[in-house]
Chains A and B, each alone.
Chain A
Amino acid sequence: MPQPNNENNMSIKVLYFASLKELFGCSEQQINSDNVRTVSDVWQEVSAAYDVPQQVLNSVNQEYAELDTVVKAGDEVAFFPPVTGG
């Protein structure tokens, strides 16, 4: 059975938490996965218009990731400041 070709309309879900959520003015957005290969590419696309402070951590599909971690359509990528729980 042929697989539907979703390549051109698939997106990556991007989440922001804490101070980054306030800076970007939203907690979630979808970006087009075309021309996006790594977490770094996603970060460039979403943060380009902002003066982003300090250290930013990231995760892919709810696991800690690195800037060079490869992402694909359908992934959930999140950016957040250092954690302060406990």
Chain B
Amino acid sequence: MVTILETAFNPWQAIQQHQENMQRDGEYGACASFIGTMRDMNEGDQVSTMELEHYPGMTEKHLEKIIDSADQQWQLLDSLVVHRVGKLFPNDPIVLVAVWSAHRKDAFEACRFIMEDLKSKAPFWKKEALISNNDQPQKNRWVSKNTSGY
């Protein structure tokens, strides 16, 4: 399941709610999750807020494709991806990936695969507002690139 949200969310509640709703109690022996959170610092500058833009339509399609690809490589019971767009503040959750499986190997590996593919291919873009530093005025800048997490 893929959800794009314009407002803040609680990833822990989202995991719990999804787990209750999927009705696979007794089948899953593992749930691996990743939560990405906004920092107040990037490349040596203090960041006050961030705007997250996406390509509506393509984003959802691409994330569904990533989940399908994970389903083909590992034995999964269910997967959940939640991603924020719009204005974010430090400490706001940005992304949640949660994967349920019978065993931890599939859950761990699929969760990481989905997250890395999302970082490198899903059409989202971040623009940071930097806190003004001494005599330098406040400025906005696009985050230029994601680095590989492998």
**Interface residues in chain A, defined as those with a beta carbon under 8 Å from any beta carbon in chain B:** 15, 17-19, 54, 59, 62-64, 78, 80-86
Contacts and interface: CB of A to CB of B under 8 A. Distances in A.
B146 A80 contact: no
A83 B144 contact: no
Interface residues of B, number: 28
B30 interface: no
B69 interface: no
A54 B144 CA distance: 10
Nearest to B60: A62
Contacts of A78: 55, 58
A84 B57 contact: no
Contacts, number: 73
Interface string B15-41: 000000000000000000000100000
Interface of B: 36, 52-55, 57-58, 61-62, 83, 94-95, 115, 118-127, 142-146
The 3 closest A-B pairs by CB, nearest first: A85-B124, A18-B125, A62-B58
Given A62-B62, A85-B146, A86-B118, 10 more contacts: A18-B53, A19-B142, A63-B58, A78-B58, A80-B55, A81-B144, A83-B122, A83-B146, A85-B119, A86-B36
Contacts of A84: 124-126, 142-146
A86 B55 contact: no
Contacts of B83: 85-86
